[in-house]
């Protein structure tokens, strides 16, 4: 089912590469063009058949009827602001950034056909060599339309993500950032703090518990620096909430209050079980 003639993906890493593979596998576009700052990345993306052709020159996007910004958040904004002079009239633009309020508010000022998107998929791995045509199958993709968003553009972007296998949910950019701060940005900071606090000489004794709780701390630093710094208020609020919860458990341990501690751990266990039935 062809949805677009030419799709240009700016940033052919794990997410951009998986988009290319997924679009090509399902024949959702006539051609997929990859734009990167590094020839090596383009070569890898072509080798993996994630793109049909690639270029270091962003002007190549002029041929595309859909442009996907799949880079760290600050690059999405920087590149997005240059697009009005580069795309042809009527082209759609979307992105894959993990913070939405700042991206959407900046880009919809200059682009009439912009739809913010955040696929809730990925891994701590990076690069097109880890890309997967089915990365988005069964995952959630949040679209963040506003009053300014074109209905036609929204429909087309929704169709793209559904064709890639994702369930699509629409949220306002601000609500997205509030919710995702808790389920993604907060866990990231916690996992990083946790691995930072473990003395090196005890890492030898780590088993699956520490491994799983800190897996996401191996994610690319440049990507996460941008995410956390573009959603600071929500992140700081989530951190305060976390600190309050932690201090309740800590206080039960300090006091040796077995009844209170078991009660908290029981509540936590049944809340965690919701994630198994999602």
Report the site for its own copies in 219-278 (rule: CB under 8 A): 219-222, 224-225, 228-229, 232, 235-236, 238-239, 241-242, 244-246, 248-250, 253-254, 256, 258, 261-262, 264-269, 271-276, 278
Minimum distance between the CB of residue 13 and its own copies, rounded to whole angstroms?
A: 15
88's tokens: 């042809």
What single DSSP character describes residue 76?
Answer: H
Measured from the CB atom, is 85 or 211 closer to its own copies? Answer: 211
Nearest approach, Cβ of residue 129 and its own copies (Å): 16
Q: Alpha carbon of 100 to those of 75, 114, 158, 176: distances in Å? A: 13, 12, 16, 7
Residues 194-223 close enough to bind its own copies by CB under 8 A: 194-222
Backbone angles phi and psi of 100, in degrees to 5: -110, -35
If you search the block for the tokens 């939405």, which residue do you land on? 100
Task: Give CA separation, 181 vs 93, 189, 217, 242, 257, in Å.
Answer: 25, 10, 16, 12, 32
- Residue 124, classed as helix, strand or coil, is coil
Query: Taking CB under 8 A as the criterion, which residues in 87-126 touch its own copies?
Result: 120-123
148 Cβ contact partners less than 8 Å away, ≥ 6 residues apart: 108
Minimum Å distance from CB 73 to its own copies?
12
Q: Work out how close the CB of 86 gets to its own copies at its nearest, in angstroms, rounded to a whole number.
A: 26
Q: Which is nearer to its own copies, 56 or 203 (CB)?
A: 203
Give least dist CB 173 to its own copies, A: 14
Decide whether 8 or 102 has the Cβ nearer to its own copies.
102
| β-pair partners for 141 | 119, 168
Tokens of residue 136, six digits: 């988005």
Query: How many residues lie near its own copies (CB under 8 A)?
Result: 87
The residue (of 151 and 200) whose beta carbon lies closer to its own copies is 200
- Contact set for its own copies, span 178-197 (CB under 8 A): 178-180, 182-184, 186-197
Q: Which is nearer to its own copies, 49 or 206 (CB)?
A: 206
User: What is the distance between the alpha carbons of residues 84 and 7, in angstroms, rounded to a whole number?
Assistant: 16
Least distance in angstroms from the C-beta of 118 to its own copies: 10
Structure token pair of residue 127:
């690069």
- Pick the closer one to its own copies by CB: 151 or 204: 204
Name the residue with tokens 């690059």.
75
Residue 78 contacts its own copies per CB under 8 A: no
- By beta-carbon proximity to its own copies, the closer residue of 159 and 242 is 242
Instruction: Render 188-241 in DSSP notation, one character per residue.
Output: HHHHHHHHHHS-GGGGGG--HHHHHHHGGGGS-HHHHHHHHHTSHHHHHHHHHH
**Which residues ranging from 129 to 148 are in contact with its own copies (CB under 8 A)?**
139-140, 142
């Amino acid at each position: 089912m062809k949805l677009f003639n030419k799709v240009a993906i700016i940033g052919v890493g794990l997410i951009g590469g998986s988009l290319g593979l997924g679009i090509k596998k399902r024949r959702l576009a006539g051609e997929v063009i990859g734009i990167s700052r590094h020839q090596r990345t383009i070569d890898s993306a072509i080798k993996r058949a994630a793109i049909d052709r690639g270029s270091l020159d962003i002007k190549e996007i002029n041929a595309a009827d859909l442009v996907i910004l799949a880079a760290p958040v600050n690059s999405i904004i920087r590149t997005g602001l240059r697009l009005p002079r580069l795309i042809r009239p009527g082209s759609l633009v979307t992105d894959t950034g993990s913070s939405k309020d700042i991206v959407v508010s900046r880009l919809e000022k200059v682009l009439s056909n912009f739809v913010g998107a955040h696929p809730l998929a990925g891994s701590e791995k990076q690069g097109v060599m880890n890309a997967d045509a089915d990365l988005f199958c069964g995952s959630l993709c949040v679209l963040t339309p506003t009053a300014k968003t074109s209905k036609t553009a929204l429909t087309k972007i929704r169709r793209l993500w559904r064709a890639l296998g994702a369930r699509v949910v629409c949220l306002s950019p601000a609500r997205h950032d509030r919710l995702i701060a808790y389920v993604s940005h907060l866990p990231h900071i916690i996992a990083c703090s946790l691995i930072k606090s473990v003395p090196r000489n005890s890492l030898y004794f780590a088993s699956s518990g520490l491994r799983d709780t800190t897996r996401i701390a191996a994610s690319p630093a440049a990507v996460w620096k941008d995410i956390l710094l573009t959603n600071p208020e929500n992140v700081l609020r989530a951190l305060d909430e976390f600190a309050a919860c932690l201090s309740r458990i800590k206080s039960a341990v300090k006091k040796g209050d077995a009844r209170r501690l078991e009660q908290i751990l029981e509540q936590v266990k049944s809340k965690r079980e919701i994630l198994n039935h999602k």
